[in-house]
Structure 1
Amino acid sequence: MLITGAGRGLGRELARQYAEDGWRVVACGRACPAHDFEGRVEFQLLDTADPASIHDLAVRLAGRPLDVLVNNAAIRSEASGLLGFDPDEFLRVVRTNTLGPLLLARALRQNLVAGGMRIIANIGSRAGSMAEGLLDDYDDDYAYRCSKAALNMAGAQLAQDLRVDGITVLSLHPGWVKTDMGGVEADLAAEDSARGLRTIINSATIEDTGSFRTFDGKHIGW
């Protein structure tokens, strides 16, 4: 399996848990992590905002089967609010959070076809839900919200297009997780979020393709 944004936070915890369970994990990040991974983890450099980096990764992995692709890498805008965001920063967030996962799905499609499980898990956010994203969340990070809403649509389209290959595409909300991105006030430990996400990923079938769920299995309105 391959996990992006695995140098720290939720991605690193997912890599740790999967490796501990005996999976062979390809952990990807923009820079080598400060602390080495343990177990069956191979690190690969990858900048999901750079199409050339995605292409190079696909070349290095050519012919290698992948059971699962977890598109976890994401960033937030440095300035939020309608008056605060910068257009270039906005586009940088979209390139990382939306375009990157879409290009990876395309680049690694044949790797997934060669795998046994054939699952793409996009780690999205309830913040990108048109139906529920603003109900109890007052964050005004336009770039992050829009990028995750667009990722939802990309996932829905991929679910339709990749069904012919038997590839299941999931949109998953990890919860408000205590990571560098989530902050210390978050209410969910990375270990618990990763455990819940793994339960959904490991039990997914083609009948689940195109679904949008929380880490504990609840369905989210689009």
Structure 2
Amino acid sequence: MKSVLITGANRGLGLGMVKYLTKNDKARIIFATCRKPSEELTNLSQEHKNLHILNLGVTTKFTKLQLVKAEQLLENLTVNTIAPIMLTKSLHPILKQAVEANSDKLIGAQRAVVINMSSILGSIALNDQGGFYPYRCSKAALNAATKSMSIDLKKDQIVVAALHPGWVKTDMGGKNAPLDVDTSVSGIFNTIEKLKEADSGKFLQYDGTELAW
């Protein structure tokens, strides 16, 4: 991969992705976006000249029905759905350039892909526990946006997919999560590297397993 842009890169999975890419020399240029760079991310950027930190903030909140507030729903929708759509819109010209520059390669990660980091909590079919209204709604909306993007960007030969990273030991996932960051991240990039044109519009788990919408 020539260039990769990662959101939420200051901690958790985002930081894990940055570390994976720098350690394995997987990308020529890495754009790490976050609200406030952590010390570890800053140190990595000093060690790797191809790593560039850009300001872009994201937050998420979990809650139960009796505690749900309209502003929480709106905040999650803004961060988890609207922001990825607008970011993809802004990067669309660059993605098209990447496709043209790599026209001799198969459609997929070697040309241009958009990966929306979703969650199994955004699956309507797999929701058997309820709760988490702001997060579930925003991720379900992101999944819908991913499907539309895959259709609208097909003519540009840009692959678009939604990806569930698994339940990971991060600040958000908690210490009881079964997956460590390295396992999730390596699975994510292995899955991305194998994406083909036929995979555009799919909802996949970190290990490549297809999930129900």
User: Do both share a fold (TM > 0.5)?
Assistant: yes
Query: CA shift at 1:139, angstroms?
Result: 5.8
How far apart in 2 are the matches of 1:159 and 1:219?
16
The one of 86, 108, 114 equivalent to 1:103 is 86
Once the two structures are superposed, residues 61-100 of structure 1 have per-residue CA deviations (whole angstroms, 9 ceiling, x without a partner) of xxxxxxxxxxxx55123xx111101111211011001111
1:9 counterpart = 2:12: yes
Structure 2: state its 5+ residue gaps. Answer: 103-110
The 3-state SS of whatever aligns with 2:37 is coil
Q: Hey, what does 1:126 align to over in structure 2?
A: 120
Q: Hey, what does 2:61 align to over in structure 1?
A: 76
1:43 counterpart = 2:46: no
Query: CA shift at 1:121, angstroms?
Result: 0.5
Contact 2:123–2:212, Cα closer than 8 Å, also in 1: yes
The 3-state SS of whatever aligns with 1:108 is helix
1:166 counterpart = 2:157: yes
Structure 1: state its 5+ residue gaps. Answer: 48-72
**Of Structure 1 and Structure 2, which has the larger fraction of its residues in helix?**
2
TM-score (norm: length of structure 2): 0.86
Query: CA shift at 1:34, angstroms?
Result: 2.3
Query: CA shift at 1:205, angstroms?
Result: 1.9
Contact 2:61–2:72, Cα closer than 8 Å, also in 1: no
Query: CA shift at 1:41, angstroms?
Result: 1.3
Structure 2 counterparts to residues 13-28 of structure 1, below 5 A: 13-22=16-25, 23=27, 24-28=29-33
Count of residue pairs the alignment pairs up:
192
How much identity, in percent, do the aligned residues show? 34
Q: Which amino acid counterpart does residue 17 of structure 1 have in structure 2?
A: Y
Once the two structures are superposed, residues 113-170 of structure 1 have per-residue CA deviations (whole angstroms, 9 ceiling, x without a partner) of 1124210001101111111132xxx361100000010000000000000011111001
Runs of 4+, deviation exceeding 3 Å: none
| Structure 2 CA distance for partners of 1:221 and 1:104, relative to 1, 3 Å | same
Superposition CA RMSD, Å: 1.3
TM-score (norm: length of structure 1): 0.83
How far apart in 2 are the matches of 1:221 and 1:89?
26
Q: Hey, what does 1:31 align to over in structure 2?
A: 36
Structure 2 counterparts to residues 55-204 of structure 1, below 5 A: 75-77=60-62, 80-115=63-98, 116=102, 117-134=111-128, 138=129, 140-204=131-195
Query: CA shift at 1:207, angstroms?
Result: 1.6
The 3-state SS of whatever aligns with 1:114 is helix
Query: CA shift at 1:192, angstroms?
Result: 0.4
How far apart in 2 are the matches of 1:165 and 1:42?
27
